[in-house]
């Protein structure tokens, strides 16, 4: 059994404690219990829980309310729990599953929630489950459906790793299935068939030759990607295959609707039989909104575009401008050598406190 969490002690120690409590998606009971026990004693927070989604609200009657949210789950452990630390050029690095994605952000926001007893704006702190798995299980999605008032705000910060810098909006993501069909035949008489795998050659070559777009939206540059992420075909070693499937993932800038994104894929693969199997719209950065501008000023630095899809799109879809802001390099998310610099946890906590004090 893990010991309780100290929200007002060393925030790097707090991150280590969070990493040491395994919380792979679907197994968030223990970490949610600990977070709940840690927040309940704070009289300035009104804590409620739905399953493994925890909401802590200040109710000071401020004119504005903001949301700060983060997920508690991680992808599966890869022999990287419990946590460990190393020193590098005077910096402390915390290693372990979830250190980067996104217990660093959770530690920063828990620490800020504890000390911000009288924030300038009311705050809704949200900690949720099942972000790393299929969308149907996502705790924030569930909360939006059952308790939409908890997502109401003038601005939202999602503590996904962003190197402690503001990353605006997020790209959309679309999954497309290319289904090629041929005619099966014995491979000793291949001319009697039509090889569906051979037809994949032109499709994959078109994807290989394609130069992804870079699109400027609200001042931020989004870099798209169009990639085959799976290919499969073949019946047996002596049969001309009559079927080949290619799954394509299109990451598209938030200026595009799903319809525009599909039209773009079709323009790259003209005449190819394909269908969209899944799509999630992106979120425009919305950094021109006043609430966002104020957050930018408090944090400092230059905002950049977020390439991956994140739950900021859930706020954006409700008209709430939202940004990603959290410690850790997003390219270390899900990596076996996942880590988070301790100083970025500190600076994120401090930025949140500075913004809301």
Contact 65, 153 (CB under 8 A): yes
Residue 73 falls in the annotated catalytic set:
yes
In the complex, least distance from residue 132 CB atom to its own copies, rounded to whole angstroms: 11
- Smallest distance from its own copies to CB 225, Å: 4
Which of helix, strand or coil describes residue 21? coil
Element (H, E) at 115: helix 104-115
Residue 200 touches its own copies, criterion: CB under 8 A: yes
* 304-305 sheet: strands from edge to edge: 46-50, 53-57, 122-128, 65-71, 155-158, 322-324, 167-168, 304-305
Stretch that binds its own copies, among 12-20, 56-64, 119-127, 194-202 (CB under 8 A): 194-202
The Cα angle at residue 274 between residues 268 and 276, in degrees rounded to 5: 100
Is the separation of the CB atoms in 121 and 57 below 8 Å? no
Cα dist. 184→147, 188, 201, 241 in Å? 54, 12, 18, 5
Q: DSSP assignment, residue 101?
A: I
Q: Does 186 engage in binding with its own copies (CB under 8 A)? A: yes
Q: Confirm or reject binding of residue 133 to its own copies (CB under 8 A).
A: no
Q: Which of 188, 270, 302, 337 binds its own copies (CB under 8 A)?
A: 188
Candidates 223, 260, 273, 357: give the one binding its own copies (CB under 8 A).
Answer: 223
277 token code pair: 């199997």
Does 304 help bind its own copies (rule: CB under 8 A)?
no
Residue among 219, 234, 300, 301 that touches its own copies (CB under 8 A): 234
Residue span 256-295 as binding mask against its own copies, x where in contact by CB under 8 A, dash where not: ----------------------------------------
Count of residues that bind its own copies according to CB under 8 A = 54
Q: Which is nearer to its own copies, 124 or 138 (CB)?
A: 138
Which member of 195, 281, 324, 347 binds its own copies (CB under 8 A)? 195
DSSP state of 148: G
197 near its own copies, judged by CB under 8 A: yes
Tell me how far apart the alpha carbons of residues 68 and 124 are, in angstroms, rounded to a whole number: 6
User: What is the 8-class DSSP label of residue 79?
Assistant: S
Tell me if 227 contacts its own copies by CB under 8 A.
yes
Q: 134 an active-site residue?
A: no
- The answer to whether 296 and 166 have CB atoms below 8 angstroms apart is yes
Please say whether the beta carbons of 231 and 204 come within 8 A.
yes
Q: Is 171 in the site for its own copies (CB under 8 A)?
A: yes
**Which one from 131, 132, 218, 262 is the annotated catalytic residue?**
131
CB 113 within 8 A of CB 23: no
As a whole number of Å, the end-to-end CA separation of the chain is: 35
**With respect to its own copies, which residue has the nearer C-beta, 37 or 205?**
205
Applying CB under 8 A, among 187, 257, 289, 304 the residue interacting with its own copies is: 187
Least separation in angstroms between residue 136's CB and its own copies is: 15
CA distance 59 to 70: 20
CB-wise, 51 or 193, nearer to its own copies?
193
**307 or 355, CB closer to its own copies?**
307
Supply 217's token pair. 């939206």
Q: Which of 122, 131, 167, 199 binds its own copies (CB under 8 A)?
A: 199
173 near its own copies, judged by CB under 8 A: yes
Q: Report, as residue numbers or ranges, the catalytic residues.
A: 73, 131
Q: Give residues in contact with its own copies (CB under 8 A).
A: 171, 173, 175, 185-192, 195, 197-208, 212, 223, 225, 227-241, 244, 246-247, 249, 251, 307-309, 330-331, 333-334
């Amino acid at each position: 059994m893990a010991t309780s969490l100290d929200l007002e002690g060393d925030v790097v120690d707090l991150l280590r404690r969070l990493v040491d409590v395994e919380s792979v998606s679907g197994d968030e009971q223990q970490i949610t219990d600990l977070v709940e026990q840690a927040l309940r004693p704070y009289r300035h927070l009104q804590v409620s829980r739905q399953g493994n989604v925890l909401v802590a609200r200040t109710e000071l009657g401020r004119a504005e309310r903001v949301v700060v949210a983060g997920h508690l789950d991680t992808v599966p452990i890869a022999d990287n729990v419990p946590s460990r630390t190393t020193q590098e050029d005077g910096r402390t690095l915390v290693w372990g599953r979830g250190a980067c994605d996104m217990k660093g952000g959770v530690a920063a926001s828990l620490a800020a929630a504890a000390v911000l007893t009288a924030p300038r704006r009311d705050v809704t702190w949200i900690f949720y489950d099942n972000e790393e798995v299929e969308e149907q299980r996502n705790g924030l999605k569930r909360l939006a459906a059952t308790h939409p008032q908890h997502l109401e705000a003038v601005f939202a910060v999602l503590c996904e790793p962003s190197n402690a810098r503001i990353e605006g909006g997020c790209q959309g993501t679309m999954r497309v299935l290319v289904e090629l069909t041929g005619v099966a035949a014995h491979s000793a008489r291949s001319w009697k068939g039509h090889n569906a795998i051979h037809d994949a050659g032109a499709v994959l070559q078109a994807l290989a030759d394609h130069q992804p777009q870079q699109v400027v939206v609200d001042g931020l540059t989004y870099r798209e990607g169009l990639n085959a992420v799976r290919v499969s075909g073949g019946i047996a070693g002596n049969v001309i295959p009559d079927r080949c499937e290619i799954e394509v993932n299109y990451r598209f800038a938030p200026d595009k609707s799903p319809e525009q994104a599909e039209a773009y894929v079709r323009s790259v693969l003209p005449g190819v039989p394909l269908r969209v199997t899944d799509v999630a719209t992106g979120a425009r950065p919305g950094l021109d909104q006043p609430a966002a501008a104020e957050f930018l000023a408090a944090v400092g630095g230059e905002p950049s575009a977020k390439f991956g899809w994140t739950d900021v799109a859930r706020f954006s879809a409700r008209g709430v401008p939202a940004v990603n802001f959290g410690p850790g390099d997003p390219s270390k998310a899900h990596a076996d050598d996942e880590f988070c610099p301790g100083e970025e946890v500190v600076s994120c906590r401090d930025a949140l406190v500075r913004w809301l004090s």
